[in-house]
């Protein structure tokens, strides 16, 4: 749901954290149903990474004051919602509840509704919700607010659409040929998610989808054309739909994509929307104050502190973690990502239909996600991370990892 119109935080009040609180209270009454042992290192690594983020709040208070530190703690708790969902589904009562495929279908329809709303929102340029990032597309005769749907900014919408497009790959080409979704559902869904992705103008999310497709070809060991042809057909169909709906936007979008590929090596800072300038500021800060490499300056404090000389948006998950949580935080995060890919890959290669589906879904998507983290702080996508981590936990559980 979109935020409520109250001026609290960057994006107003969201209902979802309140629902998460009720879920926490309800699940606490079922503490005896949690497993005391599990296979794999993912639960430990998730808790360890969350502990590193929580520990960095101390340095946020030391370097930036209690107000910034309290905001840092709030963001740690928001990330913790996704961690709790993972644990609940993997070793908690969630492992014994409703059928995972049924819930995956529910998520798909919820995601599809969100993508449809994003398309309608962009086409008619509905009034922005309570809080949003001011992101626009500058056309020749008009200025359009980038599609964001119910999210704070457009990149989250693009990432969300890429997640479900990655789902459609294993759903369309299941092991043993036993499809769990009808083509009458998957093809329109792919068109809607592709259109919403284009409307978001998120180039990094497009790269995520491309990498997800390549990863899917690798884990199945198929000829590239078997997957590439339907993807190209669906992408072209979505592109044609956008061309007829908003020709000016379509021309601008494809011109921007072409320019990004053409000038990536000659003018990388321009292609990356000035991100290299921000990265240089942070690298120079660490070079002048190397002791911050040990423990960092506090999770999610960069946009709100003047410690670096001015507030900086890193737009790079790895560099942001290095500055905010130090080398320890970055190392734990790297190990966590390696464990995620290892677990997902094993599930994707399983002969079991459910394990293969959920493993292929999260493995393909997370391969693209790790690349997109180079140009965005994706672990701040708190509203969608619980969905991603639920799929990961289901893949790990179904494969016995």
15 versus 11: which is more confidently predicted? Answer: 15
- Residue 3 near residue 131 (C-beta atoms within 8 A): yes
> 9: how many CB neighbours lie within 10 A of its CB?
14
The structure tokens listed for 77 are 């708790």
Q: How far apart are CA 201 and CA 205, in angstroms?
A: 9
Task: Kindly state the DSSP code that residue 145 receives in the 8-state scheme.
Answer: E
* 3-state SS class at 143: strand
Backbone angles phi, psi at 180, to 5 degrees: -100, -10
What pLDDT score was predicted for residue 308? 84
> What is the percentage of the chain residues whose pLDDT exceeds 90?
56
For 164-261, where are the E strands, in sequence order? none
Label residue 326 left, alpha or beta by phi (over 0 means left) and psi (-120 to 50 means alpha): left
Ranges 33-47, 87-101, 154-168, 186-200: which has the least confidence: 87-101
Ranges 77-81, 121-125, 228-232, 348-352: which has the least confidence: 228-232
The structure tokens listed for 94 are 């969630």
> 83: how many CB neighbours lie within 10 A of its CB?
18
- Residue 295 near residue 304 (C-beta atoms within 8 A): no
pLDDT greater than 90 at residue 240: no
Q: What is the dihedral of CA 221, 224, 229, 231, to 10 degrees?
A: 70
What is the average pLDDT across 215-235? 74
The structure tokens listed for 214 are 């390549």
pLDDT greater than 60 at residue 224: no
Between helices 100-124 and 353-372, what is the axis angle to 10°? 40
The 10s digit of each residue's pLDDT in 281-318 is: 999 999 999 999 999 999 999 999 888 877 888 999 99
- Residue 133 near residue 336 (C-beta atoms within 8 A): no
What is the average pLDDT across 81-93? 91
Q: Find, among 243, 163, 233, the residue nearest to 198 by Cα.
A: 243
97 falls in which pLDDT band (50, 70, 90)? low
Q: Find, among 196, 138, 137, 200, the residue nearest to 376 by Cα.
A: 200
Q: How far apart are CA 101 and CA 104, in angstroms?
A: 5
159 falls in which pLDDT band (50, 70, 90)? very high
What pLDDT score was predicted for residue 401? 67
What pLDDT score was predicted for residue 17? 75
The structure tokens listed for 333 are 């995060």
pLDDT greater than 70 at residue 226: no
The 10s digit of each residue's pLDDT in 335-347 is: 999 999 999 999 9
pLDDT greater than 60 at residue 383: yes
361 versus 383: which is more confidently predicted? Answer: 361
pLDDT greater than 60 at residue 367: yes
31 falls in which pLDDT band (50, 70, 90)? confident
Ranges 180-194, 233-247, 343-357, 381-395: which has the least confidence: 233-247
Average pLDDT across the chain, whole number? 89
């Amino acid at each position: 749901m979109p935020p409520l119109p109250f001026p609290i935080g960057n994006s107003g009040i969201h209902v979802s954290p309140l629902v998460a609180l009720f879920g926490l209270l309800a699940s606490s009454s079922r503490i005896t149903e949690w497993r005391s042992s599990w296979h794999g290192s993912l639960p430990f690594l998730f808790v360890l990474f969350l502990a590193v983020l929580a520990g960095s709040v101390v340095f946020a208070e030391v370097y930036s004051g209690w107000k910034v530190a309290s905001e840092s703690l709030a963001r740690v708790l928001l990330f913790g919602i996704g961690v709790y969902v993972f644990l609940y589904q993997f070793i908690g009562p969630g492992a014994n509840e409703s059928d995972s495929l049924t819930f995956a279908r529910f998520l798909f329809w919820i995601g599809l509704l969100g993508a449809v709303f994003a398309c309608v929102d962009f086409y008619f340029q509905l009034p922005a919700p309570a809080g949003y990032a001011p992101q626009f597309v500058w056309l020749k005769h008009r200025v359009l607010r980038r599609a964001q749907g119910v999210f704070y900014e457009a990149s989250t919408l693009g990432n969300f659409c890429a997640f479900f497009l990655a789902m459609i790959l294993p759903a369309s080409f299941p092991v043993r040929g036993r499809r769990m979704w009808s083509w009458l559902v998957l093809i329109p869904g792919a068109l809607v998610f592709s259109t919403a992705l284009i409307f978001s103008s998120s180039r990094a999310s497009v790269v995520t989808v491309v990498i997800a497709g390549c990863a899917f070809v690798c884990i199945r060991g198929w000829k590239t054309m078997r997957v590439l042809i339907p993807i190209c057909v669906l992408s072209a169909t979505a592109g044609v739909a956008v061309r007829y709906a908003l020709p000016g936007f379509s021309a601008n979008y494809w011109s921007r994509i072409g320019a990004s590929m053409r000038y990536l090596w000659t003018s990388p800072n321009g292609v990356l929307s000035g991100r290299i300038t921000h990265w240089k500021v942070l690298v120079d800060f660490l070079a002048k104050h190397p002791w911050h490499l040990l423990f960092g300056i506090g999770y999610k404090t960069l946009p709100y502190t003047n410690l670096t000389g001015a507030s900086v948006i890193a737009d790079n998950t790895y560099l942001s973690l290095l500055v905010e949580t130090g080398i320890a935080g970055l190392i734990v995060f790297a190990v966590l990502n390696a464990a995620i890919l290892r677990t997902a890959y094993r599930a994707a290669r399983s002969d079991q239909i459910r394990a293969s589906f959920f493993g292929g879904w999260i493995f393909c998507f997370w391969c693209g996600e790790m690349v997109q983290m180079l140009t965005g702080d994706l672990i701040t996508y708190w509203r969608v991370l619980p969905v991603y981590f639920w799929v990961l936990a289901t893949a790990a559980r179904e494969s016995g990892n």
